[in-house]
A and B are shown apart, each in its own frame.
Chain A
Amino acid sequence: MLQLCLTVHTFFNLAVITFFYFSRKSASFYTSIMAVEFEGGVVIGADSRTTTGAYIANRVTDKLTPIHERIFCCRSGSAADTQAIADAVTYQLGFHSIELDEAPLVQTAASLFREMCYRYREELMAGIIVAGWDPRRGGQVYTVPVGGMMTRQPVSVGGSGSSYIYGYVDSNYRAGMSKEECLKFTAEALTLAMERDGSSGGVVRLAVVSEQGVERQVILGNQLPKFSTV
């Protein structure tokens, strides 16, 4: 009996290793990410799926990465590339903030991302949304897509799942929404994207960044908003 278990276990291990050997894909965040500005801060959100080929390597990933106390980034594209860039920018921003002896601007963080993504555009595959709050300009969202452009937008979506929700975001976004409205809007948009995009799924992670600090939430699969399904 024990020998049988051991055989099955070894076989299973071999199968997993073989699977990974043949899949030969690096970890990617073909994902859905979103950020919205509101009066007093920003709401950021992401799905939670990391894939290596067809295997979901992590179904509860946290793609909302803190860069500084009140500055976050949402990562999409190659998991390795975005982690490396985020680590580098976190270091550079921390250093800059100490030199300045005050909280860094969101625009500074975005510029650092842009510098790196543009300089190494041939090697990298990273689409990043930088969002946060600073005392000078309040809540801001900057998008740094693949290629290394940077632009500020009141609402920005990214990742593979974003294509499916451009129409929804265009029609439902209004300037001047409250924090709760922004949270609901983000959760609904990400749910719709996750429903249509095979590379997005899992839970919805949300964070609100404002003068008061950071509040994080998770919306689990069975608590996601439901849309009319026929």
Chain B
Amino acid sequence: MDSHHSYSQVKGVSTGTTILAVKFNGGVIIGSDSRASMGESYVSSKTINKLIQVHDRIFCCIAGSLADAQAVTKMAKFQLSFHSIQMESPPLVKAAASIMRELCYNNKEELQAGFITAGWDRKKGPQIYVVSLGGMLLSQPYTIGGSGSTYIYGYVDAKFKPDMSLEEATQFSTNALALAMGRDNVSGGVVHLVVITEAEVKHVVVPGNKLPKFHDE
């Protein structure tokens, strides 16, 4: 008989986190929880912001090793601002995602981080790109990541509708993150949301006591 092994599925090397991005009518919402953990039993930060601004209308959130992610985003931010100056116009979201992808793919042996890049540009409007661990680049209308994301696949598959309004998309993101935080012990704290549209970038924080409650709470 095989040795008694854990029943939960293999988690890979994800940061204890839940991140998501969703496209709505006119923009994107990118969101995450706010917990940083060392191992599974110590919360090293309750209020960390995992949403990194790489340009005026382009944000990134990270899943994986925090150190790797910070190094990559710092490099990407530099390359992107350089590119933007050369082109004399705001960069495309795809450009930002491509830079991340180059870095992830060329250094795939050393790095262990995946990214969600979301933003707005003049050419294609709101977009979401996922750069996964080995350096694959994929465009999706909504995406979730991090260890807490396994628990909400069913929820987001069922509840996502294309072309939602801002209110619906905000409710959708907040609910999804709250559900994931309720089941994943390494996700928690507050919900950070960034709403990116042509006009503005708005950072919304939903504190713990304002999170939606579900039937067993």
Measured CB to CB, the residues of A under 8 A from B are 26, 77, 121-123, 125, 127, 145-146, 160, 163-171, 173-175, 188-189, 192-193, 195-196, 227-228, 230
Q: Which of B140-195 contact A (CB under 8 A)?
A: 141, 150-158, 160-162, 175-176, 179-180, 182-183
13 residue pairs of the A-B complex, CB under 8 angstroms, read A121-B4, A125-B4, A125-B7, A127-B7, A163-B8, A167-B152, A167-B179, A167-B180, A170-B179, A173-B215, A175-B215, A193-B154, A196-B153
A54 to chain B, nearest CB (A): 15
Say yes or no: B4 contacts A192, CB within 8 Å.
Answer: no
Contacts of A188 in B (CB 8 A): 158
Residues of B within 8 A of A228 (CB): 160-162
Contact yes or no, A77 B157, CB < 8 A? no
Given A163-B8, A168-B155, 8 more pairs with CB closer than 8 A: A127-B7, A160-B9, A167-B152, A167-B176, A192-B153, A196-B153, A230-B141, A230-B162
B85 at the interface (CB under 8 A from A): no
Known pairs A123-B1, A145-B7, A228-B162; A164 contacts B150 (CB<8 A): yes
Q: Are B182 and A170 in contact (CB under 8 A)?
A: yes
Assembly CA distance A26 to B175 (angstroms): 39
Best-buried of B151, B179, B182 by chain A (most CB within 10 Å): B151
Report yes or no: A77 in contact with B7, Cβ–Cβ below 8 A.
yes
Q: Which residues of A contact B1 (CB under 8 A)?
A: 123
Q: Using a Cβ cutoff of 8 Å, how many contacts connect chains A and B? A: 78
Bound: A128/B4 CA distance, A:
16
Q: Which residues of B contact A174 (CB under 8 A)?
A: 215
Contact A163 B4 (CB under 8 A): no
Q: Is B110 an interface residue (CB 8 A)?
A: no
A-B CB proximity, top 8 nearest:
A165-B154, A167-B155, A167-B152, A168-B154, A192-B154, A167-B179, A164-B153, A166-B151
CA distance A167 to B160 in the complex (A): 13
**Chain A, residue nearest B11 (CB):** A163
B214 at the binding interface (Cβ < 8 Å) = yes
* Shortest CB distance B168–A (Å): 13
A-side contacts of B179, CB under 8 Å = 166-167, 170-171
Measured between alpha carbons, how far is A107 from B4 in the docked complex, in Å?
A: 27
Q: Which of B151, B157, B161, B162 contacts A163 (CB 8 A)?
A: B151
User: A103–B174 Cα gap in the complex (Å)?
Assistant: 47
Which of A26, A146, A164, A196 gathers the greatest number of chain B CB atoms within 10 Å? A164
Q: Give A189 Cβ to nearest chain B Cβ, in Å.
A: 6
Instruction: Give Cα distance in the complex from A38 to B214, angstroms.
Output: 18
Whether A227 pairs with B158 at a CB distance below 8 angstroms is yes
Given contacts A123-B1, A127-B7, contact A171 B214 (CB under 8 A): yes
On whether the beta carbons of A170 and B161 are closer than 8 Å, the reply is no
> Which residues of chain A are within 8 angstroms of B152 by Cβ–Cβ distance?
164, 166-168
B192-213: CB near A (< 8 Å → 1, else 0) gives 0000000000000000000000
Query: Digit string of B53-68 for contact with A (CB within 8 Å is 1, else 0)?
Result: 0000000000000000
Kindly state the separation between the CA atoms of A163 and B156 in the bound complex, as whole angstroms: 13
| B7 and A171 within 8 A (CB) | no
